[in-house]
Structure 1
Amino acid sequence: MTTAPPRKTAAAPHKATAASTDRVAVPAGSEWTKAELAEVRAQLVSELDELRSAYDGSMRELDDLQRAGNDGAGDDQADAGSKTFEREQEQSIAANRFDLIAQTEHAIERIQAGTYGFCERCGKPIPKARLKAFPAATLDVSCKQREERR
């Protein structure tokens, strides 16, 4: 049986706010402009708010499923199995959302620190198209492929 992700409130200790160029640092050698990074940051902050809300909903659903699972009087084995499956599925969804929150927060921190757009492993620029498709990417394509092969 899987366990739930660590119980945390949806609010991070350093909640990001809407885009402002004073919270954006353009890395040296970057092909991004300050305005583009501010736009990406605003998008990430918006996604972060949605993810936190969805995570809170998942945690409420898990609480409800846990309470319902404790009152199993009269349930047959199929009912118990269905409840366990639902609970484990919701735990998986909550864990995924928790990971996405952490990735999004990290991307916002990288924008503010001036390290956004460069691979955390090799230091090469991450193609703009990749970051537009997945703004929280921290690795360039070749480093990501190497990581996935392991």
Structure 2
Amino acid sequence: MKNAPVKKAPASSLAVKEGEERWSKQELDEVLADLHLHRDRLVEIMEAQEQELNGLMKDAGDGAGHDQADLGATSFERDHELTLMNSEREMLAQIDRALARIDDGTYGVCESCGEPIGKMRVMAFPRATLCLSCKQREERR
């Protein structure tokens, strides 16, 4: 699956915390490369999981010759694959959201308090949408 061309905001216009240097083109390009690489990998994984899940769904309808343990194992495996697929979909949505925020110039701004997230945090975790204090507050709930 090809990625659409990104019409990103200029690196220097992205939010940074007080005392941090502005984003350089190279830093933004690294984040973009990381996001696109991770996105491509997720799409491949999801396609493989979908094929696996399709096979499990076909097997689920055919109970002939299977004992209860086989049916239980197939059901468990199918549920596990569905859980993995949902997790991968969520991660893909986060990546797409980060790419959209780079496009519109809001990348690096906390979605909760509106303050800069911090360049080091988003470079370490490019999908971050919350500053550290907001993230900690969310996790305590």
Give the TM-score category using the shorter length. 0.7 to 0.9
Instruction: Work out which of the residue numbers 48, 56, 64 in structure 1 matches 2:55.
Output: 64
| Contact 1:24/1:38, CA 8 A, preserved across alignment | no
Q: How far has the Cα of 1:69 moved from its partner? A: 1.5
Matches within 5 A, 1:75-114: 75-114=66-105
Percentage identity across paired residues of the two chains: 44
Q: Structure 1-normalised TM-score?
A: 0.81
Query: Counterpart of 2:4?
Result: 16
Partner of 2:45: 54
13, 21, 34: which is aligned to 1:43?
A: 34
CA gap of 1:46–1:117, structure 2 versus 1, over 3 A, is: same
Match of 2:10 among 8, 21, 25: 25
Aligned to 1:131: 122
Deviations 1:9-32 (A, max 9, x none): xx69xx434xx7x53433355331
Aligned to 2:19: none
Asked if 1:148 is matched to 2:139, the reply is yes
Q: Which amino acid aligns with 2:116?
A: P
Note if contact 2:39-2:92 (Cα within 8 Å) is conserved in structure 1: yes
Shift in CA distance, 29/81, structure 1 to aligned 2, threshold 3 Å: closer
Note the C-alpha offset of 1:140: 0.6
Segments of 4+ moved more than 3 angstroms:
none
- Relative to the length of structure 2, the TM-score reads 0.85
Aligned mates of 1:47, 1:55 — CA distance in 2: 12
Return 5+ residue gaps in structure 2 as ranges: 17-21
8 Å contact kept, 2:14–2:108: no
Q: How many aligned positions are there?
A: 135
Tell me the residue number matched to 1:5: none
Question: What is the RMSD computed on CA atoms of the aligned residues?
Answer: 1.9
Deviations along 1:124-148, one digit per CA (max 9) or x if unpaired, are 1112222122110000111111112
Higher RCO (CA < 8 A, seq sep 6+): 2
Is the CA contact 2:8–2:105 (under 8 Å) kept in the aligned structure 1?
no
Measured against aligned partners, the alpha-carbon deviations of 1:91-144 in whole angstroms (never above 9, x if no partner) come to: 000000000100000001111111111111111111222212211000011111
Quote the Cα distance in structure 2 between the aligned partners of 1:28 and 1:70.
52
